[in-house]
Amino acid sequence: MGKDGLKDKIKGQINQLKGELKDDSGKASDNKKLQAEGKWDKVKGIAQEKLGELKDKVNK
């Protein structure tokens, strides 16, 4: 497994977790902006994780 791919996968998972926390906090506090930021972080994290998987496949 390539280091670049692993880094992207880890960063992606962290962004997804951060997004989940923001989304849940936004729901709990009825803060639509925070909720939207959380959803964006989750999407960004998923894309980043997929990029890492792609890098791993290319570097095999």
- pLDDT score of 50: 96
- Residue with the larger pLDDT of the pair 4 and 16: 16
CA-to-CA separations, 37 to 8, 22, 48, in angstroms, rounded: 20, 7, 16
Checking if the pLDDT of 1 tops 70, the result is no
What is the domain partition of the chain in residue ranges?
3-58
Checking if the pLDDT of 7 tops 80, the result is yes
Checking if the pLDDT of 38 tops 80, the result is yes
- pLDDT score of 31: 97
| Angle (nearest 5°) at CA 40 between 43 and 24 | 100
pTM over 0.85: yes
Q: What is the average per-residue pLDDT within 3-29?
A: 95
